[in-house]
Each structure stands twice: as structure tokens, then as C-alpha cells.
Amino acid sequence: MTANILVVEDEPAIQELLALNIKQAGYNALRSLSAEHAQQLLRETLPDLILLDWMLPGMSGIEYARRLKSDNLTKSIPIIMLTARGDEYDKVRGLEVGADDYVTKPFSPRELNARIKAVLRRRAPQMTDDPIEISGLSLDPTTHRVTGNNVNIPLGPTEFRLLHFFMSNAERVHSRTQLLDKVWGDRVFVEDRTVDVHIRRLRNALMASNHQDLIQTVRGSGYRFSAQSSEQAG
Amino acid sequence: MTANILVVEDEPAIQELLALNIKQAGYNALRSLSAEHAQQLLRETLPDLILLDWMLPGMSGIEYARRLKSDNLTKSIPIIMLTARGDEYDKVRGLEVGADDYVTKPFSPRELNARIKAVLRRRAPQMTDDPIEISGLSLDPTTHRVTGNNVNIPLGPTEFRLLHFFMSNAERVHSRTQLLDKVWGDRVFVEDRTVDVHIRRLRNALMASNHQDLIQTVRGSGYRFSAQSSEQAG
DNA sequence: TAAAATATGACAAATTCATGACAATGATTT
DNA sequence: AAATCATTGTCATGAATTTGTCATATTTTA
């Protein structure tokens, strides 16, 4: 699942440039010319990141950012502000309002990508392309390969996403419902118990390199991917 | 066929410097002293990248950039603007017009090369036209020839481009949409499933030298060109 | 031991992919 | 100009894989 990035920018040329850049980087770009229109889009899909121009017609970017951050539904969506000048004052205000980062125009595409990646890494690590290695188990999103002690481990699509999520959020317990949200997607209706089956399938596959114990059951709560055995305390 | 880079710069000394630098880096340099002359050159060959000075006699660089970006034929050619040092306003306008990056004068050759490389790679990694050899399969972009274990393998145009892209971006998984963007071109409307057919045609051709397994299907994601068998990891 | 929660095996439905056929297009030759 | 050939995109079909659910163990907890 690639990250959805919403661009709110009234200047068509810059919007186009941003969208292009985002697409190039392998993300999905949604666009809006105004805060008002953006608000409508949010009703359909919640993006994983918002690029927000400081200067907007109608509701200003700064005002919109504040509003996004005060709404429980959108509060957790990271925001990168686009500011025209290297004005310290703007930056301060931007961060005050809750923006996660800012980029000053003109920006180099590379810088923009770096910041997007950094922000995504913080909030939705499994959306980034970084390879992960834990206890001899490696997962590489770009090649779509999983190896345990250098032995290839074939996985179905769902198991791959599941493992990817687990490894990006290791050591934490995830309820079945959370897993369904994060791995299957928001608007899917699937039985909670189905998760159990996929856990089993994943464990089964991981047995090839004896990594099956990395997936731990937390009775009454859910599952956890952990490098520490559940036998001993950390 | 190395990448052709067109330098549009009215100052002969700087033009010389740029051209030298470009040649040093292994690209092919075309030169123009004015936008008007550049326009003529474009009729013969479309370069893979344009270095465009902001200040030009006659039609200004910024104006020319806009024109290039509004013409369907040249729209997709990346542009790097050369701007006078620290002129914030120029940069903004440059990016507005659709430039892909900018370099401020005076520039270090290293920086310039880095940016050229970055832009080219982003745009078309397979443009770097060194011959490629993987697992006994060779592709030479200059001669437009493919051989498997020294046996000639005839390919249609699309299959050739497809293989070229695969070999220049080996090991990575590419979705059908990505392949359409990169191999067919951005603004082409073609069914996703059409990729499957061309994959088959390519595999078919590669069977001549038993290289068909280099093209791997990654269910649910796309395709991958990989020297590693999907059974075992290296 | 009973109750609750999880693991597992089986299976049918759904999805995804491979493949062959075919028509449209454009280039080349007759 | 007509005919031939190569290339390309689309579709229909069948094969293969994946996936969600259920029924039935098995384990854990009280």
C-alpha cells in the first residue's frame, strides 16, 4: 500500500510539479487547489501526509493547518508546510500550529523527498521503502523479498504486508482490529478471527528459517512481533 | 548512445565550461547561444536534459522554459535552470514554470554533475546507456542488440525498451502502472493488463537462451527482473 | 474442570495471472 | 496502390494462487 499524499496548493504549476515529484517518488498524489476543496476530499480518504501551502486563497494554509490539528479525525495526519520565504517567523508559527516540518520555496525535489520520507518514517514506517532486518530476518520492500538467514521466504501478498507492518512496528502489541485497519485497510469488512489465520500462515512460512517465534500471541490483546523471546523478561 | 544534454547559455566562457564538464561526466553536449537557436536544434534531436540559463538575450530563459513545458513534444524533457547566486525570486519562478532543479552560479562541477545525474536517473535511469550484462544476458543500448549467451535475441521495440528498463532497474519490483509510466511513457492510456502480454512476449523471446526466468512475477505487486532465482536468496 | 481464547485444517469463493487469438495500425515491399 | 509483414493493444478463457470463513482441536486461565 503506497502512501497517499495530499497536495494543497493554489498555484497550478507548482501543484503539478509537486504531484509529479511525489509520483516519481512512488507515492500516490491527491490534489487540491484550496483548503475548502481539500476538506471535501478528506471525507473520502484520509491521506497519510499533507503538503500544505502557506499562502492559500480563502482559508489560509496556517489557518487550515490549525483546523486539521484540532479535529480528532485528522489530528494525527502529518503536515509539511510550504513557505515562500525563509522567514523565521513563519517557521515558528507553522510549527506552533502543529506542522511537522516545513519546506521553503524554492525547494529541490531531493530535499522535498527527503523530508517526506522522514515524516512518513516517523508516522507510518511501513509506508517507506527502507529495508528492515531483525534477528536475521530481512524484508526489503523495493525488491519485495523476505529472507531468513539468507534463505528466501516466499510469502503471499497479505502475509508480506502483515510482516512488513509487524517489522516496522516491532515490540508493540497490535489488536486484531488495528491489524485489520493497518494491513487490510480502513474500509474493509473482514472478521477479526481472520487475522488468526493469516498469523498462522505467516508463522508457517517463517518456519523455513525458524523465525516463527518472532510472532508472539498476547492473549486477550492481539499479536506482537518481538526479537525478545516471550519466555524471559527483558 | 549516451544522454544528450543541451546547454543554452549565451556567455561563451560559461558555455564552454559547462560543455567541458558535461563531456567529462560522459554525456554528450549540445550547445546553443540562444533560445531561438536551441529551438532549431530541437527539431533534429530531442535532448534528454536541458541546462538553461536564466538570463538570455532575446527570449529569456524563464520564458523559454515555459514554452518548452507547454509543448507536448518537449514537455517531458527535464530542465535544470542556471540562476544567478542567491536570487530567491528567480528560483521560485523557475520552479513555477516547471524546471526540475536549479543550480546557482557559480556552481561547483561536482554539484552540477550530481544534479544532472539525479535528474536523469529520476527521469529515465535506463538512459545511461552503458551496455548491461546480467547472468549471461547482454543488452547494448547503442547497437540496440540483445544477446543471451552470445546468441542473438531479436526483440520488438516495446520488448526492447521493457527489457532495457528491467535490466537498468534489476531486483526491484515494478507495478504495472509504473512500467507503463516508465516504458510506455507518462501520458499514454493503456490497459494495465497489456503489460502482462508484453511480459509474455519478452519471456517468449528470452526462451531462446533460457533466460525467461529472469523475469519474475510478484503476485499482487507486479514484475521483477532478478538474477536471483525466486527460490533461494543469494 | 469449565469457560474463554487461540490454533489449525479444510474448503469454496474471489482474485490474479498466463496464454492464445484477433483486429487495428503502420511500415515495407511488390 | 495493393499486398505483406511486424507490431501493438485488447479481450476471453482457463489455470493457479490467494483469501475469508467455518468447524474443530488445543491451550490457557480462573
CA distance B82 to B89: 13
In chain B, beta strands by DSSP E: 4-8, 28-32, 49-53, 79-83, 101-104, 132-134, 137-140, 145-148, 151-152, 173-174, 215-218, 222-225
Grid coordinates representing B140 are: 547494448
Using alpha carbons, list the distances in angstroms from residue A8 to A51, A55, A59, B36, B155: 6, 10, 11, 36, 44
Render pLDDT for A43-99 as a digit per residue (tens, 0 to 9).
877 888 999 988 888 788 888 888 888 888 888 889 988 877 655 555 566 566 678
CATH code for residues B4-123: 3.40.50.2300
Which of helix, strand or coil describes residue A89? helix
Whether residue A59 contacts residue A97, with contact meaning beta carbons closer than 8 Å, is answered with: no
Q: Which residues touch strand C (CB under 7 A)?
A: A 193, 196-197, 199-200, 203, 217-222; B 193, 196-197, 199-200, 203, 217-222
pLDDT at B27 over 80: yes
Contact predicate B100/A109, CB 8 Å: yes
pLDDT in tens, B162-192: 999 999 999 999 999 889 888 987 556 888 9
Q: Would you say residue A232 has pLDDT above 50?
A: no
**B171 to A147: CB separation less than 8 angstroms, yes or no:** no
Provide residues of A within 8 Å CB-CB of chain B.
Answer: 11, 13-14, 16-17, 23-24, 26, 84-86, 105-110, 142-145, 147, 150-152, 154, 156-157
Task: Encode pLDDT of A101-144 as tens digits.
Answer: 877 766 666 668 778 888 888 888 878 888 999 999 999 999 99
pLDDT band at A41 (very low <50, low <70, confident <90, very high): confident
CA distance A1 to A170: 19
- All CATH 3.40.50.2300 domain ranges of chain B, comma separated, are 4-123
| Nucleotides of strand D lying closer than 7 angstroms to a protein CB | 6-12, 17-23, 28-29
Which residue ranges does chain A devote to CATH 1.10.10.10?
132-225
Q: Which part of chain A is CATH 3.40.50.2300?
A: 4-127
Q: Return d(Cα A232, Cα A46) in angstroms, integer.
A: 40
Q: What residues form DSSP beta bridges with A223?
A: A174, A217
Q: Which CATH class is domain A4-127?
A: alpha beta
Q: Which fold has domain A132-225?
A: Arc Repressor Mutant, subunit A (1.10.10)
In DSSP terms, which residues pair with B225 in a beta bridge? B215
pLDDT band at A189 (very low <50, low <70, confident <90, very high): confident
Residue in B96, B102, B234 nearest the CB of A13:
B96
Q: Do A106 and B122 touch (CB under 8 A)?
A: no
* Residue A12: predicted pLDDT: 74
Angstroms from B61 CA to nearest CA on chain A: 17
